[in-house]
Structure 1
Amino acid sequence: MKFSSLILLSLSMFSYVSCSTEISHKIELCGRAVITAESTKSVGNGLDFTNYILGEESKRDILLSPLYLGGDLNAVRAVFENFFPHEKLNVTENVQEDVLGNEIGTYFTFYSKSQEDLIIFQNEMSKRGVELGLKSESQSQCAPGLVNISVLKLDPKEFDGSVVTNLSKGHVLGLDKISNHVKSLDSKNTTPVAAINGGYFVINNEQGYLGDPAGISVIGGRLVSEAVRGRPALLIHNGSRISFNVLEEVTTEAFIINAGKKINLLGINRQLGSIFNCGLNEGEFTFVSHDSVCSINNDLVIYDRDFGEVDVVISTSSAYAIIDENGMVLSSNDAIDGILPTGYYLLAAIGKRYVEVIDNLRGKVEYSWNVYSHGKKVPIDENTYLINGGPTLIQDGVIQYSRFKKEGWNTVDIISAESSVDERDGLTLSPESTKRANFYKGWLLTRHPRTAVGIDSEGNAYFAVVYGRNPLYSDGISVPELAQFFHSLGIQKAINLDGGGSSTMYLDGKLTGIPSDSNGERNVAEAIIISSK
């Protein structure tokens, strides 16, 4: 990745910061070292909040083309050449590289002093079959622009509370605002101080059940959702002293034992036949592809009380069995509607292979699972929380660009995986020949709101939310820029979480910034909530 632009940093302080200290850090972004000042406020024992404003406002608009390759590139060049010279516009042809310096396509940028001229040209090109996006130049990686970052630092040596993850309304099904996640815990004899959005999740019915975590979720020692094979996860453990870790190469193993036979399960609390982000533990879809859906015809999934009302599963499965707290299969006359009782499970299947498994269940059924990182079993107890994310930003103090592809941010289309993105995030997927490369550029290398967690050498955790998509307030940050920002703070381990309109930090009863969605807070599946005693 080539970085050439200098991003300047300036001091900013939110109005509610009543006492602060100014600290200088050497921040490196886009290959340039700059000095910044920070305003920091203590918000509790072991908790310090810092707000950063990077850069300066940029009002320059541009027209941006998608990435092109081969014949598509030559065809669009011909369209532009036939229309030019155009005295009011300038154009540059740019080679796009991935984070490792490999060429993935070519795109065109059009500049003009007048937005009106850009719009006229955009409409003329659209008539000729070439779609150009009108954007602020500040959305481009390393360009001038504002970047507003909220960072909450937690020192385990001083902190006397807990950090937990929370499902919307206590179940997999459904979504809710971060502020409502906080309120749901506030009624459970805890005092939430802060919260941020958590991992990726199913955002529409084409991907699966709305709210299903798109990767591993462990809440209070319970495995709520299986891992996307080989992806990272944030581990939180509320022991005598709270601790944090970023686990790599995470996999899960879930199985039942019946009549002396071990039967592997393919999913936990997700929709039969649909795997969002792919990455099954076995079979055809072990590869990972972010914001893609892999579909299978033979599937075996287990559901528990954490799922919510199971009627939707029963009505769509080819076969199912309800297992009581003693491991016994109930008769069809004992069918349960609504939420499963504690200790009960629903085993559901589609496809001949797994329908036969359910039909042949005899006697006691034992359910078990394990979590692994790099093939080693991860100890789990009631104080353990795991939340999905990716890509890995930093490990052992080194930025992990080489892991991005393996963790699902690839530049080549996978025929058996169907792209599925949130339209609110404005990602370009055309032309067809470079759909995945355009997704890669738009998702990874363009500035968006982001949420991430870093850990330093002393075990301190840094919860970061970057606001964006508002050029007058904050443009957001690219993933490489986010990794470099953390690296400049001396972070040893860091993981990217869900971003875009989900990115929100809630502190002392209000938001620390402006979410990117026009209607305010986006509903999310999981929240990370920091509470005092």
Structure 2
Amino acid sequence: MTLSTPGLSGLRRAGAIAAAALAAISLGVAPGAPAEAATGTLPLGDADLTEVTTSSTLAEGVTLTRIVRGTEPAPADQINTTTRGPWVVNVLTIDPHTARGHLKATYGPDLAKVEKTTDLVRSSGALAGVNASFFTFTASQLYPGDPVGLGLFGGKLLSEPVTDPAEANFVVDANSNRAVTGKLSWSGSVRSRETGAVLPLEFVNHPPVVPAGCAALADQTQCTLPGDVVQITPEFAAATPSGAGVEVVLDRRGCVVRTATTRGTALATGQTSLQATGQDTVALLDVAGAGCVEQKSTLTDQNGEQLPLRPGLFGVTGRYQLTRNGQIVVPAGAPGDSFFGRNPRTIAGTMRDGKIVLATIDGRQTTSVGTTMDETAAVAQALGLTDAINLDGGGSTAMAVDGVLVNHPGGAERAVGDALVYVDGPYHNGH
């Protein structure tokens, strides 16, 4: 299977010599012993800027590098325009050929909550990690940590990739530390074992929306407008989303435990819920109102090849591919679009020889101005990333080592939906 490079289904990466641009990152120094040198790695700002790289080994096969380009603080009114920087970049490099541990994605007590990256690193017993997926992030929302796109954890699909072409995914096999980037798509359905009737699913672990024209109807089966059909799992929250609609709870065999004409319940281990709103409530009752159903969930890449959901597979969602096969592919942003302007950034990507790189770029500060999307892609390319994506950034950008921030968010650390973390030990049975 292929995302942006050959061999996604086996998560195989062709062996090759790493890009020379990343030489300063793979210094191979003794654990805890920093090395410092003036380099010219980053294509940011004026050519005469001083650039200093400090690198140390965190564990076998894992290095942390800090690159500072520019020496003078930026004037506060020139952060978005200066060509003098400064820029502060932290780079975590994992060599799957020598690393003893594993990289995975993790979230807090449940998928819908938010936690600080430092807390996610500590609670998972990880050595280091960065923030990962874009998430709802609305204080008034009941489920602020709800991923906006792919959420794949230990082979379980807990959030489906969205159809927005801007979504980019980072997928890693924790068993081998082989990773790929690209764009996944999803389809899901439930099928009645008794009648063979099939009902498409629209979302996984996202609250269904009641059609505006039927908002006053307590009985959604009387609605004639299309609604949503979603699957909710116990990992989502303490209780399933509540409100008008229909809910069918299934046991681990897919057989109906109970049916309700309103939504909201607690799920036991092994149970899942199917919820529907609008006129789709009638269809759900017809297909899964009694008896047993088969639930189908399929991930495919842009070439239509299937990605098997096996144990140890993790995936998170970013916005925009930065590089593909060594070439910059990020699109031009619309004039005035702040998303494409200078911001703090988090990057995930791979090198030709299979090394995995997680990087943060501090921004919106006089001590580190941040990067535009174009500049972010140029940094990824300069770091030797043949394939890289832009993860959630801005106030979410965070890198932690031993549960302590090593970057500077520019304010209080923000709680996020999930994180990519490196645990210094083999991956066994979901741990």
TM-score using structure 2 length:
0.80
Query: Which of 173, 178, 187 lines up with 1:243 in the alignment?
Result: 178
Residues 332 and 321 of structure 1: CA distance in aligned 2, closer, same or farther (over 3 Å): closer
Give the one of 87, 93, 96 matched to 1:147. Answer: 87
Post-superposition offset of 1:326: 2.1
Tell me, yes or no, if the aligned pair for 2:168 and 2:182 is still in contact at 8 Å: yes
- The residue aligned with 1:20 is 35
Number of the residue aligned with 1:510: 404
Deviations 1:250-308 (A, max 9, x none): 1111111112122210001012129xxxxxxxxxxxxxxxxxxxxx9511111011112
CA RMSD of aligned residues (A): 2.7
Query: Contact (CA 8 Å) 1:19, 1:41: kept in 2 or not?
Result: yes
Residues of 2 paired with 1:349 and 1:336: CA distance?
9
Contact 2:348 2:356 in 1 (8 A): yes
Query: Which has the larger share of helix?
Result: 1
- Cα distance change, pair 317–209 in 1 and its aligned pair in 2 (3 A): farther
Alignment of structure 1 residues 300-315 onto 2, 5 Å: 300-311=229-240, 313=241, 315=242
Q: Give the number of equivalent residue pairs.
A: 376
Deviation at 1:493, TM superposition (A): 0.5
Larger RCO: Structure 1 or Structure 2 (Cα < 8 Å, ≥ 6 residues apart)? 2
Contact 1:24–1:38 under 8 Å retained in 2: yes
Report the secondary structure of 1:270's partner residue: coil
Aligned to 1:423: none
- What do the CA deviations read for 1:425-449 (whole angstroms, capped 9, x no partner)? xxxxxxxxxxxx53x2x111x2111
Match of 1:494 in 2: 388
Match of 1:390? 319
Q: Are the structure 2 counterparts of residues 59 and 529 from structure 1 closer, same or farther at C-alpha, using a change threshold of 3 Å?
A: closer
Contact 1:257 1:366 in 2 (8 A): yes
Distance, in Å, in 1 between the alignment partners of 2:57 and 2:369 is: 27
Gaps of 5+ in 1: 1-10, 62-135, 187-191, 275-295, 412-436
CA distance in structure 2 between the aligned counterparts of 1:179 and 1:41, rounded to whole angstroms? 20
CA contact (8 A) 1:22 1:40 kept: no
Paired amino acid for 1:215: G
Equivalent of 2:280 in 346, 353, 356: 353
Q: Is the 8 A contact 1:208 1:271 kept in 2?
A: no
CA gap 1:530/1:350 in 2 versus in 1, 3 angstroms: same
Which aligned pairs between 1:127-526 and structure 2 lie closer than 5 A? Answer: 136-140=77-81, 143-169=83-109, 171-186=110-125, 192-204=126-138, 209-229=143-163, 230=165, 231-239=167-175, 241-248=176-183, 250-258=184-192, 259-273=195-209, 298-311=227-240, 313=241, 315-332=242-259, 339-361=266-288, 362-374=290-302, 375-402=304-331, 411=334, 437-438=335-336, 440=337, 442-444=338-340, 446-471=341-366, 473-517=367-411, 520-526=412-418
One-letter amino acid of the counterpart of residue 132, structure 2? G
Shift of 1:485: 1.2
Is the contact made by 1:308 and 1:338 (CA closer than 8 Å) also made in structure 2? no
Indicate the percent of aligned positions where both proteins have the same amino acid.
24
Specify whether residues 360 and 386 from structure 1 end up closer, same or farther in structure 2 by C-alpha distance, changes over 3 A only: closer
Q: Which runs of no fewer than 5 residues in structure 2 stay unpaired?
A: 1-23, 25-30, 211-224, 426-431
Highest CA radius of gyration, 1 or 2? 1
1:359–1:495 CA distance, 2 compared to 1 (3 A):
same
Range 447-456 or range 265-274, more displaced: 265-274
- C-alpha deviation, 1:139, in angstroms: 2.2
Task: Say if 1:46 and 1:154, in contact at 8 Å, map to a contact too.
Answer: yes
Q: Distance in 2 between matches of 1:359 and 1:261?
A: 8
Instruction: Name the CA distance, whole Å, in 1 between partners of 2:133 and 2:356.
Output: 17
Are 2:66 and 1:45 aligned? no
Q: Quick one: which amino acid aligns to residue 139 of structure 1?
A: N
- What TM-score comes out, normalization by structure 1 length? 0.66
Give SS of 2:416's match. Answer: coil
